[in-house]
A = this chain, B = another copy of it.
Amino acid sequence: MGAALENEMLAETTRGQQPKTVRVAVVGATGYAGRELLTLLSRHPAVRVTHLMSSGREGRKSQPVEKSHPALRGRFRIACDPLDLNPLEPSSVDVVFLATPHELSLEVVPSLLHRGLRVIDLSGAFRLKDSSAYPHWYGFEHHAASALEEAVYGLCELNAPRIRKAHLVANPGCYASSIILALAPLVQAGWVDLNTGIVCDSKSGASGAGRAPSEKLHFPEVNENLRAYGLFTHRHVPEMLEALGIEGDRFTFVPHLLPITRGILSTVYVRLKTARPREEIFNLYHSFYAQAPLMRVYGDGSLPEIQSVAHTNYTDLGFAVDGRTGRLVVVSCLDNLGKGAAGQAIQNMNLMFGFPEETALL
């Protein structure tokens, strides 16, 4: 007759696989991505959180999780400790999530890998294959070449086979995820007129900017406002170009800060080499993402909104095409803390440890 189909599917797959419990450490547990990781991990049926650490607070004392995250009061027996790599050993931990600034990730990843741990890094420190791009976009020389080499860009819908075997996953940026997933099918099919250029206009909730207070993120400066920033200079651009395999000269990305907490909507403008009807475009996306349980492509002409995906791990895609001129507008939505950060990190963990991709994410 009918059913909540996910828990059925999940039950089925899980039953077959009998995955054992994964022991997890979270470094950078006190920020927003950390909170989201903890929330999702506490729902995961086969995870045991063994260590929580806050980055950049070395020397401070342990404190209960609710001190940073009142919403998690009563959810974790263990406290959040100052950063200390020593207890992170294969005897007690299987995977380490790093929700840390990229400078810190750069520093600790080689050591964690060397201990034989698997790492999922939410920062940008290992996202770019081209290490020579780091000084320009991130302001530092990348001195961890071998770790960088083995890093897999953790956009699950594109790289699942390599993620399954990865020791180091570089979790993608939130803007980058929303845009790459919107463009990859079109670009790989060779349909986009790259001469005309691509315009990506993204709008993100404020949690994407992190938890550190600043004038720019002071409530009255964000509320009832909208602001563009980072024109031609945003760090997520190079990972988009690498993942899509295109040049930057005709690719323009402008992010905007929305007066909401969670969610990204990217409006992506391209011209097709050949004008095509809606069905054809839908079919391209549909087959491209046929194996991706957390992608939803709208074929009925409706468009996703941020509310369609907030507090979920879905990426929703909708589009409108001018059948005469070939102008195509794709609207891509995801939750910047979910699919754009912590949710994708969990999805990567699921792939790495043989769980159904969507475990704890529905």
Contacts and interface: CB of A to CB of B under 8 A. Distances in A.
Given A2-B77, A49-B2, A215-B213, A71 B322 contact: no
Nearest to A78: B2
B3 A77 contact: yes
Contacts of A261: 219-220, 223-224
Contacts of A70: 302, 304-305, 307-308, 316
Given A76-B5, A269-B252, A221 B296 contact: no
Interface in A297-324: 298, 302-312, 314, 316, 320, 322
B49 A303 contact: no
A300 to B, nearest CB: 9
Interface string A155-175: 000000000000000000000
Interface stretch (A37-45, A110-118, A178-186, A346-354): A37-45
Given A1-B92, A2-B49, A3-B49, A223 B226 contact: no
Given A224-B260, A226-B305, A42 B7 contact: yes
A219 B261 CA distance: 8
A206 B223 contact: yes
Interface residues of A, number: 95
Contacts of A77: 2-3, 5
A273 interface: no
Interface stretch (A140-148, A196-204, A238-246): A196-204
A223 B224 CA distance: 9
A152 interface: no
B203 A226 contact: yes
A20 interface: no
Contacts of A232: 320, 322, 327, 329
Contacts of A312: 71
B256 A265 contact: yes
Contacts of A82: none
Interface string A69-101: 011011111110000000000001000000000
Contacts of A38: 4
A192 interface: no
Given A50-B1, A219-B218, A226 B71 contact: no
A111 B322 CA distance: 40
Nearest to A10: B45
Contacts of A3: 48-50, 76-78
Interface of A: 1-7, 11, 32, 38, 41-45, 47-52, 70-71, 73-79, 92, 196-197, 199, 201, 203, 205-207, 211, 213-215, 217-229, 231-232, 249-250, 252, 254, 256, 258-263, 265, 267, 269, 271, 296, 298, 302-312, 314, 316, 320, 322, 325, 327, 329, 331, 362
